[in-house]
């Protein structure tokens, strides 16, 4: 299949491209930018006039609820949501049921992805067996089965010696550790940031120290073991400062932030509305601004959705009793573009944080429009407005604080390995 994407504004941060031109795809790969290869005959033409053409997005943290919780969502429903959002690669956290701690479960993930027609679901292996924090998983076997990294998925590791041994094991096999810093015991089963809002409404709080202390422990062990570490879903100012210092002194660490943490704070929480129940919790305005500064400076490398779809029952009941998480794949692009509109970052930085940088961290041969690379492409209209409602929403989980909000920025086409997997059919 030969495809021409015509007249779009091509933005490719990896190659420092920003120009209006044609993009040529052949046999699932990027063939050329601007000038067609010799003898190129198109089987399909896509008009991208007035739109942006960029590398497909790589989401570093998602839950698709399969296997084990298909009442909440399925691969089939969530890959449609991903495709409609320009996401061409999904990193699946290991806290599935069963946990991704054996090659058999990793193979099951591949089978489910193939059945859903979306092959680029990348399993992350559990750091410890059953994520119980006691016994190391078989990391080498999991890597050989296709797992791209190992992670604690937010689950506690019972003591620092186990974490040290896990990091030594990961380092010996050149496996990336994706670590979600949270001291479970300091968190004390809280559900909101420990501050004025939690106090006012009687909600059990989680201090930012629960994150920063766990992060500091892991940084010390990263230096001791030489393990490559990526810190997932940072939420507070002091975490950004610690990462910044570690990078300054040469530690091989990187970090991401969930998109909602860059927009929402504890002050935005509607009292007792469980759509705002997330972990880590929404923190202060100062934390939000520092996360934005960390993204702009490159201390934070990536933006992820931290997509966690839930059924209605999971979000019913008293706020502390509900399950945390936002269904957020479909708001990832418009909320990232809002950062650009608010001058927090520029458009090149925004696209790099969703494509080039995740690919670099995972050492994937993706995230750029370089000839010869897989043709994972997102085409979007940055000015197109749409409302979050049942007619536009694809995910099975409707748990978002943005329900009925009007957002700007809409994907019109998504290609995965040169195959068109999404085309917007809404009226212009």
Quote the distance between the C-alpha of residue 411 and its chain's center: 17
Question: Between vectors from CA 414 to CA 412 and to CA 416, what angle results, nearest 5°?
Answer: 175
Of 209, 251, 248, 214, the C-alpha closest to 232 is 214
> Choosing from 306, 360, 376, 381, which is the catalytic residue?
306
Residue 240 CA to residue 158 CA, distance in Å, equals 25
Residue 237 CA to residue 172 CA, distance in Å, equals 32
Per residue, the 3-state secondary structure of the chain, as one string, reads: CEEEEEEEEEEEHHHCEEEEEEEEEECCEEEEECCCCCCCCCCEEEECCCCEEEECEEEEEECCCCCCCCCCCCHHHHHHHHHCCCEEEEEECCCCCCCCCCHHHHHHHHHHHHHCCCCCEEECEECEHHHCCCCECCHHHHHHCCCCCEECCCCCCCCHHHHHHHHHHHHHCCCCEEECCCCHHHHCCCCEECCHHHHHHCCCEECCHHHHHHHHHHHHHHHHHCCCEEECCCCCHHHHHHHHHHHHCCCCEEEEEEHHHHCCCHHHCCCCCHHHCCCCCCCCHHHHHHHHHHHHHCCCCEEECCECCCCCHHHCCCHHHCCCCECCHHHHHHHHHHHHHCCCCCHHHHHHHHCHHHHHHHCCCCCCCCCCCECCEEEEEEEEEEECCCCCCCCCCCCCCCCCCEEEEEEEEEEECCEEEEECCCCC
Q: Going by C-beta distance under 8 Å and a sequence separation of 6 or more, which residues neighbour residue 37? A: 24, 26, 31
- Residue 400 tokens, joined: 């978002």
Asked if 306 is an active-site residue, the reply is yes
User: Are residues 304 and 232 in contact, defined by beta-carbon separation less than 8 angstroms?
Assistant: yes
Residue 194 CA to residue 135 CA, distance in Å, equals 32
Find the radius of gyration of the CA atoms of the chain.
21
Which residues are the active-site residues? 306
């Amino acid at each position: 299949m030969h495809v021409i994407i015509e007249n779009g504004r091509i933005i490719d941060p990896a190659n420092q491209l920003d120009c209006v031109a044609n993009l040529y795809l052949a046999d699932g790969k990027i063939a050329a930018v601007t000038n067609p290869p010799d003898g190129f005959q198109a089987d399909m033409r896509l008009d991208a006039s007035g739109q942006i053409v960029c590398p497909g997005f790589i989401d570093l943290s998602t839950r698709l609820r399969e296997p084990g919780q298909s009442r909440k969502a399925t691969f089939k429903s969530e890959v449609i949501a991903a495709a409609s959002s320009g996401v061409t690669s999904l990193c699946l956290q290991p806290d599935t049921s069963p946990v991704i701690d054996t090659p058999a479960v990793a193979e099951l993930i591949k089978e489910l992805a193939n059945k859903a027609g979306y092959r680029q679901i990348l399993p992350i292996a559990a750091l410890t067996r059953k994520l119980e924090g006691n016994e190391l998983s078989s990391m080498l076997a999991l890597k050989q089965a296709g797992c791209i990294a190992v992670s604690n998925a937010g689950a506690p590791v019972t003591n620092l010696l186990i974490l040290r041994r896990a990091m030594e094991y990961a380092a010996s096999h050149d496996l990336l550790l994706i670590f979600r810093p949270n001291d479970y015991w300091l968190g004390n089963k809280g559900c909101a940031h420990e501050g004025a809002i939690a106090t006012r409404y009687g909600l059990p709080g989680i201090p930012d120290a629960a994150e920063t202390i766990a992060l500091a422990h892991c940084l010390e062990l990263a230096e001791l073991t030489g393990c490559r570490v990526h810190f997932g879903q940072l939420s507070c100012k002091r975490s950004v400062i610690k990462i910044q210092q570690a990078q300054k002194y040469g530690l091989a660490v990187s970090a991401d932030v969930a998109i909602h943490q860059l927009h929402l704070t504890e002050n935005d929480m509607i009292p007792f509305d469980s759509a705002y129940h997330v972990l880590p919790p929404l923190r202060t305005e100062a934390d939000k601004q520092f996360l934005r500064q960390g993204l702009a400076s490159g201390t934070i490398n990536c933006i992820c959705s931290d997509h966690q779809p839930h059924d209605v029952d999971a979000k019913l009941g008293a706020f502390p009793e509900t399950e945390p998480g936002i269904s957020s794949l479909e708001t990832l692009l418009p909320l990232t573009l809002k950062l650009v509109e608010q001058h927090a970052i520029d458009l090149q930085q925004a696209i790099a944080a969703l494509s080039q940088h995740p690919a670099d961290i995972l050492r994937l041969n993706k995230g750029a429009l370089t000839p010869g690379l897989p043709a994972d492409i997102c085409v979007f209209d940055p000015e197109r407005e749409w409302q979050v409602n049942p007619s536009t929403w694809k995910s099975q989980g409707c748990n978002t604080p943005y329900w009925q909000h009007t957002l700007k920025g809409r994907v019109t086409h998504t290609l995965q390995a040169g195959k068109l997997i999404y085309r917007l059919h809404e009226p212009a």
